[in-house]
Chains A and B, each alone.
Chain A
Amino acid sequence: MATMDALIYPIAILVDELKNDDIQLRLNSIRRLSTIARALGEERTRKELIPFLSENNDDQDEVLLAMAGELGVFIPYVGGVEHAHVLLSPLETLCTVEETCVRDKAVESLCRIGAQMKESNIVDWFIPVVKRLAAGEWFTARVSSCGIFHIAYPSAPDQLKAELRTIYGQLCQDDMPMVRRAAASNLGKFAATVEQSYLKTGIMSIFDDLTQDDQDSVRLLAVEGCAALGKLLEPQDCVAHILPVIVNFSQDKSWRVRYMVANQLYELCEAAGPEHSREHLVPAYVRLLRDNEAEVRIAAAGKVTKFCRILSPQLAIQRILPCVKELSSDSSQHVRSALASVIMGMAPVLGKDATIEQLLPIFLSLLKDEFPDVRLNIISKLDQVNQVIGIDLLSQSLLPAIVELAEDRHWRVRLAIIEYIPLLASQLGVGFFNDKLGALCMQWLEDKVFSIREAAANNLKRLAEEFGPEWAMQHIIPRVLEKINNPHYLCRMTILQAISLLAPVMGAEITCQKLLPVVINSSKDRVPNIKFNVAKVLQTLVSILDQSVVEKTVKPCLVELSEDPDVDVRYYANQALQACDQIMMSS
């Protein structure tokens, strides 16, 4: 009996804690429901645990959420697929609670279980759940029901199928906008399971009703349905039924609906096929690019490249490019910014001639934009143009833009441009970089803002990686080391940081010959902050340097620092010494 007790005891606690007053303990128990189920065995899980959970479903939302998740993977613990239906009852009640995330989880679990259930069990157990939820008194139940139709439908016999389609149609006309929204957003999933013949009649009429809903939020979701349904329908039906709806939506009174169309238009084009897109959707897209709501133009401008890709270059030049030109001088900076982030991608689509002739002036005007984000977005995608037209044409106008950004008064802008320096360097080549940008990189090391100095140090490391240690030895190291004599201690600290970053890239020899002496010298600095940073840097250098050098140079220096009057310096020196010893021991 004693052994049995030992076996039971921990699980007994777990079981008891299902009803503990402390929510954290209840949560813990629920998350380990599978352990409890295994201890009870399959039969008692079915007969006792699941009914227990069904009864105790008025807990806090956090507990219910965990329960909804656990039940979704519970089939093995109730005795396999043939008993899966016992799990439906607790999940059904969870589908009606007020908290959306619990309901969503319960629906997800129901779908997961339903997908594994046998066809006959679906008819006997799952479909009644769907019907009960769809007829639920509270809108929460009806909302949940919309998400499980697509699981129930394929297994239903014909008569039930007809009934399910009717019920779904009713949900799409529910009094509550929440239910109609749920029905609209799940329509695509449900339609995918419906037979072609009913798709064209039943589902399309449901869809038509949704597209004319007087709640903007419902129509919004119907836009998404366009793409999903379009892909299901045969091309000619898609053109006949979906295209007019899209064209209508693109002229909807509500900007939010038009915004949605602008966001989805590319997917809609895919569904409609390129031929019809050219004919019907290009005018719609052009309208959206010229919309009077900036949010819509932002969405449309962001898709310009993707959209051009499915058009012929000629059409793109003829129809889209004029709009792009207009957008490049749009009154909203966010529109210009969205355009700048994708416009570079148009270059490969248009080809070299059109790019130089038409696109280049737009690049250049965006590169001079008063809003830094716009310029940054252009620079960030520089590699794409480089492939088409070569950097020479751009470099003339690029440099002033970079210099201006590098000296922008907002440090976030400076930070952003530093991030792009390695990219620029790789695109512009060593020669150009040495001439024009090298000085900037050094200048940032002395910036007033810490984040900039930090990024500058990191940038040097990335440049050294890009151009190799030899180049770095020639162009970076001497100029960095010079700055160790800067009167400001914060600047000297940045240099120490740069050294610790550069050392691994440069290798043991250069580190030992050039970098280490500078660090050792700094240990005599009058500022304690520098001294303990020396200790920290030395700690990182130990793994790169030869053991003999560590013994001869690093350790004496650290020992000296460990006797410093300043407590922080002593602390970091001792830390570094310990690290030294550890590395020595392991090697």
Chain B
Amino acid sequence: MNGAVVSEPAAAAASPPTQASLEWRFSQVFGERSAGEEVQDVDIISAIEFNKSGQHLATGDRGGRVVLFERADVKDSACRKEAEKADYSVSRHPEFRYKTEFQSHEPEFDYLKSLEIEEKINKIKWCQASNGALVLLSTNDKTIKFWKVQEKKVKKVSEMNLNPLKGPTNGKPAGSNARGSSAYLPNGDISKSGGLPLLRLPVVVTSQETSLAASCRRVFTHAHDYHINSISNNSDGETFISADDLRINLWNLEISNQSFNIIDVKPTNMEDLTEVITSAEFHPTHCNTLAYSSSKGSIRLVDLRQSALCDTHSQIFEQPESPGSRSFFTEIIASISDIKFSKGGRHILSRDYMTLKLWDINMNSGPVATFQVHEYLRPKLCDLYENDSIFDKFECCQSGDGLRVATGSYSNIFRVFGSGAGSNEATTLEATRNPTRRQLQNPTRPARSLCTLTRVVRRGAESTGIDANGNSYDLTTKLLHLAWHPSENVIACAAANSLYMYYA
């Protein structure tokens, strides 16, 4: 980005000499599973997103529902300031409470293609809140919806002109009655004489109670032939993109009947297809910069200013393949499942099957840091391939200060790494009430010794196995979705149907 990027405190500022590892503590859980309770498929969480201020959190599930949480410890910024003055809340960690939920998507059937469209929420993105209403975009495989959630004071009509229970005429459609009404008015004589004194406006009593109402304001559909994997808002506040396997479309939030295809990687002959789009995101501040990742492990940066169809990228980030290490799985595990821009847009965090990589957008020769997420699985790739686990799409996230990154793994485990200069922080946490119950070995240990060890211990395990250190891992409980609070050290993560929150 020809050096125009404003340097970000996260990476540029000299980080504290030895950055202490964070001590993560359990904060809250929503929808915790009681022992022996079966998890319903529709309840499994499939998307998590904090809003920009961190005041709200949204989750989506496979049943097409969106659940909103709001921060409970500080009501709003005004309160917060007072609270800080009063030297209160210093010791308290952020807490969230359930706010509301609504059914965002329903299962559908595409009759033209004989395809069932699942209601599962793939992604949620918050838009700029306005006038007290929360607004967000949610998407399933095909359809993006624009939701407005608004608090309304409950109002009751206490007095009317006509007793609603009285005559049957009241139930009549008003049109017929009302239309003729002006005929009864003798040309404004009444208005001069002070009107009809008997006529009263309905008296409305506003109670203190409020109710939250979610309404779908717009539906963006019929623009994707393949499954939508990401949506992302532009910093201009009026446009967003939606990406499927082969195309990225640009929409205006106000206009739902047209979109522009800006990236199309579909080859003329589908047999020539070697690479698909796996994730896409707008730069947080540059309205014209867009990044998308591919199944071949590359990240492309696109400048929307250059042309209307952005088939040529302005930069490509790829890790050169190390010679000799190539195997059948190399390409599969190179596939990037998620990318995220850092807060200031200087870095891009990417997650592939085995690692988390941090890229500096000014350096495309290789990542500035690579974090091994679950190296102990490397010898098991064959099993993982056979049961399709190798295609699991893990998300990643970065802390608001840019000093740490996090991503999920199997056995409901997620890992937090220090990404600041000189940090070797690497924490393993389990999404339970006691996150540090199970401590894995130091992950930075050379992978080779692990291989030799595991070969000895290896068993013909299917979905559960024992790793080098005798820790079992469970492929059925995978922690795919997690999000880091934009300003505090709070991580929200999904373990099946439960939402766990941790703070440090």
B308 touches A12 (CB 8 A): no
Contact with B along A137-162 (1 / 0, CB 8 A): 01111000000000000000000000
Give Cα A11 to B201, complex, Å. Answer: 11
* B133–A98 touching, CB < 8 Å: yes
Q: Report the bound CA distance from A253 to B217 in whole Å.
A: 34
Supposing A49-B201, A55-B204 touch, asked if A215 and B194 sit within 8 A by C-beta, the answer is no
Known contacts A177-B237, A216-B236; decide if A139 and B174 are in contact (CB<8 Å).
Answer: no
CA distance A37 to B188 in the complex (A): 10
In the complex, the answer to whether B177 meets A4 with C-beta atoms within 8 Å is: no
- With contacts A98-B148, A99-B217, A140-B130 taken as known, whether A28 is within 8 angstroms of B198 at the C-beta atoms is no
Within 8 Å by CB of A10, from B152, B180, B206, lies B180
CA distance A480 to B307 in the complex (A): 53
B175 interfacial by beta-carbon distance below 8 Å: yes
* Segment at the interface with B among A16-24, A436-444, A458-466, A533-541: A16-24
B13 to chain A, nearest CB (A): 23
Cβ-defined partner of A97 (8 Å) among B131, B173, B238? B131
**Given known A-B contacts A39-B190, A99-B217, A10 and B236 have beta carbons under 8 A apart:** no
A255 contacts chain B at the CB level, 8 A cutoff? yes
- B288, A216: Cβ atoms closer than 8 Å: yes
CB of A574 closer than 8 Å to a CB of B: no
A49 to B196 alpha-carbon distance, docked (Å):
13
Query: Hey, what's the 0/1 contact readout for A33-65 against B, CB within 8 Å counting as 1?
Result: 001011111111100110010011010110000
B287 contact from A100, A215, A292, Cβ within 8 A: A215
A543 contacts B by Cβ under 8 Å: no
Beta-carbon contacts of B144-168 to A below 8 Å, as 1s and 0s?
A: 0000101011010100111010000
Is B305 in contact with A253, judged by CB distance below 8 angstroms? Answer: yes
Closest A residue to B148 by beta carbon equals A98
Question: Shortest Cβ distance from B6 into chain A, in angstroms?
Answer: 11
The verdict on A13 contacting chain B, using a C-beta distance below 8 Å, is: yes
The answer on a CB contact under 8 Å between B162 and A12 is yes
Among B161, B217, B254, the most chain A Cβ lie within 10 Å of the Cβ of: B161
Residues of B within 8 A of A328 (CB): none
B16 contacts the other chain (Cβ, under 8 Å)?
Answer: no
B140: shortest Cβ distance to chain A, in Å?
Answer: 24
The answer for the CA separation of A176 and B173 in the assembled complex, in Å, is: 45
Given contacts A39-B185, A138-B131, A176-B237, contact A16 B195 (CB under 8 A): no
Count residues of chain B with CB under 8 A from any CB of chain A.
Answer: 59
Contact B174 A28 (CB under 8 A): yes
Q: How far is A133 from B180 in the complex, measured between Cα atoms in Å? A: 40
Question: Looking at the complex, which one of B130, B178, B305 makes contact with A254 (CB distance below 8 Å)?
Answer: B305
A585 within 8 A of B: no
Cα distance A42–B194 in the bound complex, in angstroms: 7
How many whole Å from A373's CB to the nearest CB in chain B?
19
CB closest chain-A residue, reference B152: A58
Q: In the bound complex, do residue A40 and residue B199 qualify as a contact, i.e. CB atoms below 8 Å apart?
A: yes
Q: Chain B: which residue is nearest A139 at the CB level? A: B130
Q: Is the CB of B161 within 8 A of A177?
A: no
Could you tell me the distance between the alpha carbons of A15 and B288 in the complex, rounded to whole angstroms? 51
Contact of B184 among A7, A141, A253, A293 (CB under 8 A): A7
Q: How far is the CA of A531 from the CA of B144 in the complex (A)?
A: 52
Asked if A294 CB lies within 8 Å of chain B CBs, one says yes
Which of B174, B235, B236 lies in contact with A14, CB distance below 8 A?
B174
A352 CB–B CB distance under 8 Å: no
Question: Bound complex: CA of A14 vs CA of B178, how far in Å?
Answer: 6
A10 with B195, Cβ < 8 A, contacts A35-B185, A177-B237 known: no
In this complex, the member of A14, A48, A98, A253 whose beta carbon has the largest number of chain B beta carbons within 10 angstroms is A98
- Known pairs A8-B198, A38-B190; A16 contacts B128 (CB<8 A): no
Q: How close is B332's CB to chain A, nearest CB, in angstroms? A: 38
Please tell me if B200 contacts chain A, counting CB pairs below 8 Å: yes
When chains A and B are docked, how far (Å) is the Cα of A253 from the Cα of B1? 14
Q: Is residue B202 within 8 Å, beta carbon to beta carbon, of the partner chain?
A: yes
A13 touches B162 (CB 8 A): yes
Determine whether the beta carbon of A255 is less than 8 Å from that of B307.
Answer: yes
The reply to whether A10 and B178 form a contact with Cβ atoms under 8 Å apart is yes
Q: B135 — which chain A residues lie within 8 A by C-beta? A: 98
Contact A39 B196 (CB under 8 A): yes
Residues in B neighbouring A38, C-beta threshold 8 A: 182, 185, 188, 190-191
Per-residue CB contact flags for chain B residues 16-45 toward chain A (1 = under 8 Å, else 0) read 000000000000000000000000000000
> Is A295 in contact with chain B by the CB < 8 A criterion?
yes
List chain A residues, Cβ under 8 A from B128: 139, 176, 178
| Total residues of chain A contacting the partner, CB 8 A | 65
Judge whether A295 and B308 touch: CB under 8 Å.
Answer: yes
A9 to B170: give the CA distance in the assembly, Å.
10
Q: Indicate with 1 or 0, residue by residue over B192-216, a CB within 8 angstroms of chain A CB atoms.
A: 1111101111101010000000010
A6 at the interface (CB under 8 A from B): yes
Q: Say yes or no: is B306 at the interface (Cβ < 8 Å to chain A).
A: yes
Contact for A35 among B169, B182, B288, CB less than 8 A:
B182
Say yes or no: B131 contacts A96, CB within 8 Å. yes
Residue of A nearest to B176 (CB): A10
- In the bound complex, residues from chain B placing their C-beta under 8 Å from that of A256 are 305
A139 to B308, CA, bound (A): 29
A140: B residues at CB distance < 8 A: 130-131
Q: In the assembled complex, how far is the CB of residue B197 from the closest CB belonging to chain A, in whole angstroms?
A: 9
Report B-chain residues with C-beta under 8 Å of the C-beta of A6.
Answer: 184
Cross-chain contact B181 with A215 (CB below 8 angstroms): no
Counting CB contacts under 8 A, is A118 at the interface? Answer: no
Is there contact, CB below 8 Å, between B181 and A41? no
Across the two chains, which residue of chain A brings its CB closest to B194? A41
A138–B199 touching, CB < 8 Å: no
Complex contact B181–A10 (CB within 8 A) = yes
B132 sits at the interface (CB 8 A): yes
In the assembled complex, A25 has its CB within 8 A of some CB on chain B: yes
Q: Cβ of A13 and Cβ of B196 under 8 Å apart?
A: no
Contact partner of A12 among B130, B180, B199, B286, CB < 8 A? B199
Q: Does A217 belong to the interface (CB within 8 Å)? A: yes
Tell me whether B178 and A32 are in contact (CB under 8 A): yes
**Are B184 and A10 in contact (CB-based, < 8 A)?**
yes
Residues of chain A with a CB closer than 8 A to B130's CB: 98, 138-140
Q: Are A13 and B202 in contact (CB under 8 A)?
A: no
Residues of B within 8 A of A8 (CB): 161, 196, 198-199
Q: Are A44 and B195 in contact (CB-based, < 8 A)?
A: yes
B161 touches A43 (CB 8 A): no
Q: How far is the CA of A581 from the CA of B446 in the complex (A)?
A: 101
Tell me if A341 is interfacial: C-beta within 8 Å of chain B: no
The 7 closest A-B pairs by CB, nearest first: A41-B195, A10-B181, A12-B161, A254-B305, A40-B195, A19-B202, A14-B178
Additional pairs, 15, CB under 8 Å, beyond known A14-B174, A18-B201, A37-B191: A8-B199, A13-B174, A39-B196, A43-B194, A56-B155, A56-B204, A58-B150, A97-B131, A98-B133, A138-B130, A139-B128, A177-B287, A178-B237, A217-B287, A253-B305
16 A/B residue pairs, CB under 8 Å, sorted by A? A10-B181, A12-B161, A13-B170, A13-B174, A16-B162, A16-B202, A18-B201, A38-B185, A38-B188, A38-B191, A48-B201, A96-B131, A141-B131, A215-B235, A253-B305, A256-B305
Chain B contacts to A: CB under 8 angstroms: 128, 130-133, 135, 148, 150, 152-153, 155, 157, 160-162, 164, 169-170, 173-175, 177-178, 180-182, 184-185, 188, 190-196, 198-202, 204, 206, 215, 217, 235-239, 254, 286-288, 304-308
A residues touching B (Cβ–Cβ < 8 Å)?
4, 6-20, 25, 28-29, 32, 35, 37-45, 48-49, 52, 55-56, 58, 60-61, 77, 96-100, 138-141, 176-178, 181, 214-217, 252-256, 292-295
